[in-house]
């Protein structure tokens, strides 16, 4: 089985859990005998990709119009499907509104967002709009699409290959369009059975590739705009998500929690929703020695300091714990748009001596902080999955997780609280600090659970979803005749 | 003739309300009266009332040829008195027929036998007096909480004057031997051991409504046939089960009441069986052999051991912290604070540690079904918070050097030892 997989990041160049999950999933799929061609915005060359074929848009050879022509008849047939046409038209309409560059950034408040919006609109002069208009107009000029895809991609890139940063910068929407064009150019020369697209940035590319080749599209939701932004969602991203998810043959969510959001927010019918929980590749350290230069117990928050991760609830709960036990230390590791606000809030609550803000930590420093911590808290407001509690347990730190998370569905050996119930969070922090037996029990049980969360299992589940999709999809080009 | 010995267990714990760390020292309202009342009323309606009335009808029909036993925990008696007096009347009416024996157990359905012999004896004596008051006769046969039995526990019961003790007919205990005879525990002089015939008892208690079971549907005649095959010519068949089997675990619509109403006739039909109470079997049958029970055996789960109550670190540390307070609790009662002793004793009810069991992560959902908590960890946290508050109340009655504050916090690492309980 050959899969064209579309993703935005791959280790070691990752900004969140998406790249890690793509790596774990593709490793598992390789063991299932699935051949994956994974398209990234940009390939750096040092990716851990021995188990698959990794292609960066920067190295996609853009076909000239004549070479791509033979695919045209097939593409026309695929696009004759009225449903497909309708969805593409919808996508085109919604995307034509996207003249502003995206300001998607994990670390931005609403006011910063507005300021940067003005600034970047002026700067880019609507180039993203141009990309999208060209892209979708070409797509809708149906029979001529295939030959034009290469030319289009060539136009959008600056020369014979595409130059994408692969970052989540102000040009993200532009890059999403270019990525789609590059994938469109590539899709026709690569034989594959289905397309698997990870998160909204790749959904347009997935749609285009599906429309061009007639192969089914599987969309994977690692996070939705609801999780990232709550009440301040970017309408264009929402629209891309909606169009992509509604057009996909199957939508894979990383948790039932996320599947619920997808069903509610985008009206994806339950019959097309599937859940494949993430796994963890983390090695489980037995009896990792605690390394602690201070006596005080440490409660750890580690994650982006943004709305989604609920750092404010952590601080409020900490205040309640500190009232009872002034010696407890609270360490907040990470950066984000709420960082300054958290420092100020902690100070105002009289917690200056209890709180330590380390900013963003990497590798060895992260290991060290885990070795020092006694309790790990993930108070996320909305967490599609949430791998960090599993990493904490693997490193010997018992965890409290919010019930508004996917990981709480698969992890029994964690204390669970509603993110908004700071009294309960505090109660559970205290319980973990007080009772060695509770910590032991959660760790011992949790380690066992983590050992059982293997990417092979997730991949087997995804493989079965592929089988399901292919059983209802038309045969691949050339196979029907055979 | 083989004696059919039915014994029905009636028990309700005083379940804890959500009691957070921030409640400690602020209020002593530990028990969820509303929830406890709701549950006992529901069970009374679905099981206690209809089943006692069915049993009364059967006694009316068969006279003293139909006999059986109850064991009702003290906490269940308390709750019936408060919230379901009609159900208690049903048990009293059965007592008045003379066909029913009431067994001895610990007043608070505790595992005190494992931690504090003095407390164990106090609870058994208190319960025996209560049974005499309620039902008119002093019990002489003993069943321990969850049928937990060992050489030592049998010996303790013997020293309390019990003539018989009930136990689980566990395979690992019996080996090739039959559960259908009377035994004498090793190290005991007089007491006789009656064992539960678990396959037959569980056919009714667990499997009755299971449509995937090849015995389904179970009829009185079919069950009588199995008894003939399994136990004809033996001394007894111990059919020990939760009374809640009838109407609560097996709902009325499974036909459980109908099944039971036909059972006496089916069993008495050909004269090879008769009904008897444990006391009657103890009086009439002699032990065929000694039974060595070095480690406690229970009637729970596949393991038939104590792991449902003491299998993990939370359960063990909670129990140790609890029983460390026993001397202070007793002194409090002597010094005019019986309320403190009673609050502490309600925490000795084994259900509280049962809710902390983590076996059900792999062991099916039996435990979960009975737990009011979202997770075993939540059960532990609540219990320890309550225990902490109880410890504070008992502190004035603790002697120097005695453990009065149980929930001593200690973090891993040699130096870190914040003590929240005493902060």
What residue spans define the domains of chain A? 2-279+458-472, 298-453
The token pair that represents B161 in the structure block: 């004057």
Shared domain for B287 and B319, answered yes or no, is no
Over the stretch B300-342, which tens digit does the pLDDT of each residue have? 888 899 999 999 999 999 999 999 999 999 999 999 999 999 9
Predicted local distance difference test score (pLDDT) of residue B362: 56
pLDDT at B352 over 70: yes
150-189 in chain A: CB under 8 A from chain B: none
**pLDDT in the model for residue B336:** 96
One DSSP character per residue, A297-317 reads -EEEEES--SGGG-HHHHHHH
- B9 compared with A93, residue with greater pLDDT: B9
Task: Say if residue B8 is in the same domain as residue B142.
Answer: yes
Task: Please report the pLDDT score of residue B418 as a whole number.
Answer: 38
Residue A218: predicted pLDDT: 97
- The 10s digit of each residue's pLDDT in A278-307 is 998 777 766 567 777 778 999 999 999 999
Q: Which residues are paired to A196 by β-bridges? A: A5, A218
Least confident of A194-208, A258-272, A408-422, B357-371: B357-371
Hey, is B70 helix, strand or coil? strand
Q: Taking chain B, what is the end-to-end CA distance rounded to the nearest angstrom?
A: 66
- Residues of chain A with C-beta less than 8 angstroms from the C-beta of B423: 324-325
- Residue A150: predicted pLDDT: 57
Q: Over the stretch A224-265, which tens digit does the pLDDT of each residue have? A: 998 888 878 888 788 889 888 988 999 999 999 999 999 999
In a domain, B367, yes or no: yes
Position A12 scores a pLDDT of: 87
Residue A18: which of A103, A98, A79, A106 has the closest Cα? A106
CA distance A239 to B230: 70
Is a pLDDT exceeding 80 seen at residue A87?
A: no
Between A6-20, A330-344, B118-132, B236-250, the lowest mean confidence (pLDDT) is in A6-20
Residue A183's pLDDT is: 86
Q: Which residues pair with A253 in a beta bridge?
A: A221, A275
The pLDDT value recorded for residue A173 is: 76
- Predicted confidence (pLDDT) at residue B4 exceeds the cutoff of 60: yes
pLDDT (mean) for A446-457: 92
pLDDT, position A137: 56
B146: annotated active-site residue: yes
Which residues of chain B are at the A interface, by a Cβ-Cβ cutoff of 8 Å? 20-22, 312-314, 316-318, 358, 361, 374-375, 377-378, 380-381, 384-385, 407, 409-413, 415-416, 418, 420-421, 423
- Statement to judge: residues B195 and B72 lie in one domain: yes
Task: Give a yes or no: residue B409 inside a domain.
Answer: no
Greatest Cα-to-Cα distance within chain A, rounded to the nearest angstrom: 76
Is there a contact between B381 and A438 if contact means CB atoms under 8 Å apart?
yes
pLDDT on residue A71: 43
Residue A328 sits at the chain B interface (C-beta within 8 Å)? yes
Mean predicted lDDT score pLDDT of chain B:
92
Residue A115: pLDDT over 80: no
**Averaged over A306-315, what is the pLDDT?**
95
pLDDT, residue A175, reads 80
Asked if the domains A2-279+458-472 and A298-453 are classified in one and the same CATH topology, the answer is yes
pLDDT at residue A349 in the model:
94
Same domain, B66 and B34: yes
Phi, psi angle pair for B58, to nearest 5°: -65, -40
Are residues B179 and B90 located together in one domain of the fold?
yes
Helix (H) or strand (E) holding A221, with range, is strand A217-221
Contact B77, B134 (CB under 8 A): yes
Greatest CA span in chain B, whole angstroms? 75
Among candidate residues B119, B146, B248, B280, the one labeled active-site is: B146
pLDDT at B164 over 90: yes
Domain identity same for B197 and B124? yes
Sheet with strand A329-333: strands edge to edge: A355-359, A329-333, A298-302, A375-378, A399-402, A415-417
Tell me what pLDDT residue A480 has.
45
Taking residue A359's Cβ as centre, other Cβ atoms within 10 Å add up to: 10
Of A327, A428, A445, the CB nearest to B361: A445
Residue B262 sits in the same domain as residue B346: no
Report the pLDDT value the prediction gives residue A469, as an integer from 0 to 100. 94
Give domain A2-279+458-472's CATH architecture: 3-Layer(aba) Sandwich (3.40)
Instruction: Determine how β-strand A194-198 pairs with β-strand A2-6.
Output: parallel
Lowest-pLDDT range, A159-168, A234-243, B75-84, B252-261? Answer: A159-168
- Report the pLDDT averaged over residues B274-286: 97
Cβ contact, residue pair A430, B413, below 8 Å: no
Q: Which of B111-125, B254-268, B409-423 has the weakest average pLDDT?
A: B409-423
Tell me if B282 sits within 8 A of B182, measured CB to CB.
Answer: yes
Q: Is the dihedral of CA B119, B124, B129, B133 positive or negative?
A: positive
pLDDT of residue B84: 97
**Domain total in chain B:** 2
Q: Which of B291, B323, B339 is the last residue of a domain?
A: B291
Side-chain-side CA neighbours of residue B247 (13 Å) = 17
Instruction: State mean pLDDT over A194-219.
Output: 90
pLDDT band at A362 (very low <50, low <70, confident <90, very high): confident
Q: What is the pLDDT of residue B83?
A: 98
- CATH of span A298-453: 3.40.50.2000
The answer to which of A25-29, A294-298, B412-416 has the lowest mean pLDDT is: B412-416
DSSP annotation of B192 reads E
Q: Which residue has the higher pLDDT, A397 or B407?
A: A397
In a domain, B416, yes or no: no
**What is this structure's pTM?**
0.83
d(CA A351, CA B281): 70
Residue B148 lies in a domain: yes
Residue A141, helix vs strand vs coil: coil
pLDDT of residue A280: 85
Substitution target from B310, B315, B381 for chain A, most A beta carbons within 10 A: B381
Measured in angstroms, the CA of A404 and the nearest CA of chain B are apart by 15
Q: Is A64 on the interface with B (CB under 8 A)?
A: no
Whether A479 shows a pLDDT value over 70: the answer reads: no
**CATH number of the domain residue B236 falls in:** 3.20.110.20
| B294-300 average pLDDT score | 94
Same domain, B255 and B128: yes
Query: Where residue B215 falls among pLDDT bands split at 50, 70, 90?
Result: very high
For chain B, the 3-state helix, strand and coil shares in percent, each to the nearest 5, are 50, 15, 35
In the predicted structure, residue B52 carries a pLDDT above the cut 80: yes
Q: How many CB pairs under 8 A join A and B?
A: 98
Distance from CA of B293 to the nearest CA of A (A): 30
Q: What's the domain range around B340?
A: 309-397
What pLDDT is stored for residue A168 in this prediction?
Answer: 78
- Is A430 in the B-facing interface, judged by CB distances under 8 Å? yes
The verdict on B318 and B278 lying in the same domain is: no
In the predicted structure, residue B410 carries a pLDDT above the cut 90: no
Higher pLDDT, A92 or B203: B203
Question: What confidence category does residue A131 fall into, taking pLDDT thresholds of 50, 70 and 90?
Answer: low
Tokens of B140: 């002489």
Rounded CA separation B47/B33 (Å): 20
Chain B residues touching residue A413 (CB < 8 angstroms): 358, 377
pLDDT of residue A211: 78
Q: Which of B291, B319, B350 is the last residue of a domain?
A: B291
* Same domain (yes/no): B339, B236: no
Report d(CA B272, CA B263) in Å as an integer: 14
| Cβ neighbours of B381 in A, within 8 Å | 415, 427-428, 431, 435, 438
Q: What angle do CA A164, A169, A175 make, to 5 degrees?
A: 35
Interface mutation vs chain A, best among B19, B313, B383, most A CBs within 10 Å: B313
Predicted confidence at residue A189, as pLDDT, reads 77
Q: Are A92 and A240 in contact (CB under 8 A)?
A: no
Predicted pLDDT of residue B273: 95
Verify that B60 and B25 share a domain, yes or no: yes
> CA–CA distance from A240 to each of A88, A176, A326, A443 (Å)?
11, 10, 48, 41
**C-alpha A89: how far from its chain's center?**
26
**Please, what is the average pLDDT of chain A?**
81
- Name the residue among B361, B377, B412 with its Cβ closest to that of A438: B377
Q: How confident is the model at residue A407 (pLDDT cuts 50, 70, 90)?
A: very high
Q: What is the pLDDT of residue B5?
A: 98
| A437–B380 C-beta distance less than 8 A | yes
CB A316 within 8 Å of CB A294: no
Per-residue confidence at A93, pLDDT binned at 50, 70, 90? very low
Q: Which of B244, B261, B291 is the last residue of a domain?
A: B291
Q: Worst-scoring range by mean pLDDT, A66-80, B119-133, B220-234, B388-402?
A: A66-80
Tell me the chain A residues in contact with residue B361 when contact means C-beta distances shorter than 8 Å: 412, 445
pLDDT for the residue numbered B135? 97
Task: For residue A357, list its beta bridge partners.
Answer: A332
Q: Is the pLDDT of residue B345 over 90?
A: yes
pLDDT at A268 over 80: yes
Residues A62-80 have pLDDT tens digits of 655 444 444 444 445 555 5
Q: pLDDT confidence of A124, banded at 50, 70, 90?
A: very low
Cis-peptide into A12, omega within 30 deg: yes
């Amino acid at each position: 089985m050959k899969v064209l997989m579309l993703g935005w990041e791959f280790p070691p160049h990752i900004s969140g859990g998406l790249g890690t999950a793509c790596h774990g999933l593709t490793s598992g799929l390789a063991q299932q005998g699935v051949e994956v061609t994974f398209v990234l915005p940009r390939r750096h060359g040092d990716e851990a990709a021995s188990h698959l074929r990794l292609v960066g848009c920067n190295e996609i050879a853009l076909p000239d119009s004549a070479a791509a022509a033979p695919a045209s008849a097939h593409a026309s047939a695929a696009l004759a499907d009225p449903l497909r046409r309708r969805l593409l038209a919808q996508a085109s309409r919604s995307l034509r509104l996207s003249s502003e560059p995206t300001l998607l950034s994990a670390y931005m408040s609403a006011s910063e967002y507005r300021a940067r919006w003005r600034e970047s609109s002026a700067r880019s002069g609507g180039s993203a709009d141009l990309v999208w208009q060209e892209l979708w107009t070409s797509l809708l000029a149906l029979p001529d699409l295939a030959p034009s895809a290469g030319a289009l991609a060539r136009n959008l890139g600056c020369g014979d290959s595409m130059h994408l940063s692969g970052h989540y910068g102000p040009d993200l929407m532009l890059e999403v369009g270019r990525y789609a064009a590059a994938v469109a150019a590539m899709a026709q020369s690569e034989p594959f059975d289905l397309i698997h697209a990870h998160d909204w940035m790749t959904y347009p590319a997935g749609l285009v590739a599906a429309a061009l080749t007639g192969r089914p599209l599987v969309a994977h939701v690692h996070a939705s705009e609801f999780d990232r932004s709550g009440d301040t969602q970017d309408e264009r991203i929402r629209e891309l998500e909606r169009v992509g998810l509604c057009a996909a043959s199957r939508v894979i969510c990383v948790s039932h929690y996320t599947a619920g959001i997808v069903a509610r927010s985008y009206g994806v019918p339950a019959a097309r929703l599937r859940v494949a929980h993430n796994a963890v590749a983390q090695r489980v350290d037995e009896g990792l020695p605690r390394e602690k230069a201070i006596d005080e117990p440490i409660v750890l928050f580690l994650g982006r300091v943004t709305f989604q991760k609920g750092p404010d609830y952590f601080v409020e709960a900490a205040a309640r714990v500190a009232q009872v036990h002034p010696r407890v230390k609270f360490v907040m590791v990470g950066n984000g748009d709420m960082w300054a606000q958290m420092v100020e809030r902690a100070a105002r609550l009289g917690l200056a001596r209890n709180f330590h803000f380390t900013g963003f930590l990497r590798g060895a420093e992260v290991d060290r902080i885990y070795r020092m911590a006694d309790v790990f808290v993930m108070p996320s407001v909305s967490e599609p999955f949430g791998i960090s509690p599993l990493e904490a347990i693997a490193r010997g730190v018992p965890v409290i997780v919010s019930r508004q998370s996917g990981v709480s569905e698969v992890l029994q050996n964690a204390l669970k609280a509603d993110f908004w119930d700071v009294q309960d969070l505090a109660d559970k922090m205290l319980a973990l600090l007080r009772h060695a037996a509770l910590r032991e029990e959660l760790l011992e049980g949790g380690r066992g659970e983590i050992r059982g969360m293997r990417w092979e299992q997730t991949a087997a589940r995804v493989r079965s979803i592929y089988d399901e999709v292919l059983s209802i999809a038309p045969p691949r080009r050339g196979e029907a005749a055979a | 003739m083989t004696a059919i010995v039915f014994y029905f267990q009636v028990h309700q714990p005083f379940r804890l309300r959500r009691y957070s760390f921030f409640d400690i020292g602020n209020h002593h309202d530990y028990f969820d009266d509303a929830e406890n009342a709701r549950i006992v009323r529901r069970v009374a309606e679905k099981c206690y009332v209809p089943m006692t009335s069915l049993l009364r009808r059967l006694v009316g029909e068969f006279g003293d040829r139909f006999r059986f036993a109850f064991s009702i925990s003290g906490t269940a008696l308390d709750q019936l008195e408060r919230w379901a007096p009609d159900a208690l009347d049903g048990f009293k009416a059965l007592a008045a027929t003379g066909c029913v024996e009431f067994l001895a157990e610990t007043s608070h359905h505790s595992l005190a036998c494992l931690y504090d012999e003095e407390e164990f004896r106090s609870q058994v004596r208190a319960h025996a007096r209560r049974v005499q008051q309620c039902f008119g006769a002093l019990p002489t046969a003993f069943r321990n909480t969850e049928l937990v039995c060992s050489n030592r526990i049998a010996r303790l019961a013997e020293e309390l004057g019990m003539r018989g003790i009930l136990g689980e007919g566990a395979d690992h205990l019996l080996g090739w031997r039959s559960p259908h005879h009377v035994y004498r525990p090793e190290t005991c002089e007089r007491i006789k051991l009656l064992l539960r015939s678990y396959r037959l008892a569980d056919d009714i208690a667990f499997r009755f409504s299971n449509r995937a079971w090849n015995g389904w549907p179970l009829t009185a005649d079919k069950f009588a046939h199995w008894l003939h095959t399994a136990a004809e010519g033996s001394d007894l068949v111990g059919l020990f089960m939760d009374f809640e089997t009838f109407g609560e675990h097996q709902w009325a619509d499974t036909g459980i009441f109908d099944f039971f109403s036909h059972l006496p006739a089916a069993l008495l039909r050909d004269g090879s069986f008769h009904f008897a109470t444990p006391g009657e079997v103890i009086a009439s049958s002699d032990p065929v052999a000694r039974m060595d029970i070095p480690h406690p055996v229970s009637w729970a789960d596949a393991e038939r051991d104590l792991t449902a109550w003491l299998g993990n670190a939370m359960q063990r540390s909670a129990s140790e912290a609890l029983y460390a307070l026993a001397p202070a609790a007793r002194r409090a009662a002597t010094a005019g604070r019986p309320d403190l002793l009673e609050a502490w004793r309600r925490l000795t009810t084994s259900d509280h540690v049962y809710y902390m069991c983590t076996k059900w992560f792999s062991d099916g959902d039996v435990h979960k079904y009975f737990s009011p908590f979202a997770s075993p960890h939540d059960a532990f946290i609540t219990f320890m918070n309550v225990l902490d508050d109880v410890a504070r109340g008992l502190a004035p009655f603790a002697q120097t050097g005695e453990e009065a504050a149980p929930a001593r916090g200690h973090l891993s690492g040699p130096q870190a030892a914040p003590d929240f309980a005493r902060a």
